[in-house]
Structure 1
């Protein structure tokens, strides 16, 4: 298991949150002040790195047209445009938003924090899902920083020739993002208390 936090504890409230076990975290520090931690991933670089590892052929990476972790407001249209192709017969879309409650308690706001490797990991996860399904185009974006109730936190769009492949890949991709990409959220409740939990 890679290190979630190393050295001085940048996320004191996140101790014990072990949802994300991944191999690429290494000795980097998590970012705890809401700054962008994983810019739009260079998918060509991901392809080059994958190709350099024995047996690590990742043809799905060529179908990942957008994979980004950013502070800016997310655009559903951006993801839809990214997967729009003449050979796509159906697009499955998932939009995750900030709800106003969790576990019976009212939510005031959320704050997402990402490890610096999050953008690269997002690209790898998306490429793996593209490898596993008959899809033609994949786009996924995740926001960091403070979000209000109703704000968009994550967008996934998958284009395929037929709807079955698009639906299956879209579901797997959001599940894998939650399980593998090193992003955490701090929930701030209406009573002023807060807690760190896994992403999304």
Structure 2
């Protein structure tokens, strides 16, 4: 049985017992924003509250979020935080739905970021190439007209926690440069916004002296981006219906 979150009255009692009650502004993304009716909300917690205390407070204010909160991450000041992370003094708190530190890169050409389509494929490949490169591995994702049990997808809507995603793409490039020392260039670009069928969603480019090194780095980079980047995808069908990938539907 799923954990039941306390009522609004219970949350108020926790705040009273923990000390002075304070309001925390919380950013919401993807399907969470949709269920809560907005991309920002304010909840009341104790002044010594932690990330663990934030979840029941959100559930009390937005009951539609309650079944989803066990699966989300909480970011504090652009970093995914543990349950014991204090909220005191936080400049920004965000709740991140599931998504379907680095080393120096002085000797590696790097291009990262979020982009509106179309992605600049040729220019990006050129930007991460050097005279000693003998192999360029490219992964270019595209929107297809079906997804799982949906046969009539007309577009994908990508939303992102922009500031955190930009930082994470840079960090991931640094990780790849460290873990694949033969790589000479790395590009990690991800599209945002409304993307029709055929539009490019993600571009990963890795250059190296030899093909095995380029292929290995490119596949590794793609998997890390898919697993960790705070970007969320909504599938939209021809009849106007939609669903958020990675987030189960909730009842009315």
Structure 2 distance, partners of 1:103, 1:123, is 31
Cα deviation digits, residues 157-192 of structure 1 (max 9, x gap): 100011111000000111100111100011102232
Structure 1 distance, partners of 2:238, 2:127, is 37
Instruction: Report deviation, 1:73.
Output: 2.2
Cα deviation digits, residues 89-115 of structure 1 (max 9, x gap): 100000000011011312111110010
Instruction: Report deviation, 1:64.
Output: 4.7
Where do residues 36-185 of structure 1 align in structure 2 (5 Å cutoff)?
A: 58-60=103-105, 62-105=107-150, 106-116=152-162, 117-133=164-180, 134-185=182-233
Instruction: Kindly indicate whether residue 245 of structure 2 is the aligned counterpart of residue 197 of structure 1.
Output: yes
Where do residues 16-35 of structure 1 align in structure 2 (5 Å cutoff)?
A: 16=68, 18=71, 24-25=79-80, 27-29=92-94
Structure 1 distance, partners of 2:72, 2:215, is 25
DSSP-derived class of the 1:153 partner = strand
Compared CA separation, residues 104 and 193, structure 1 to 2 (3 A): same
Which one has the largest radius of gyration?
Answer: 2
> Aligned residue pairs: how many?
169
Unaligned runs of 5+ in 1: 32-49, 51-55
Compared CA separation, residues 102 and 20, structure 1 to 2 (3 A): farther
Compared CA separation, residues 166 and 115, structure 1 to 2 (3 A): same
For 1:12, the equivalent position in structure 2 comes to 35
RMSD: 2.8
Unaligned runs of 5+ in 2: 1-24, 37-64, 82-91, 247-252
Q: Is the 8 A contact 2:109 2:127 kept in 1?
A: no
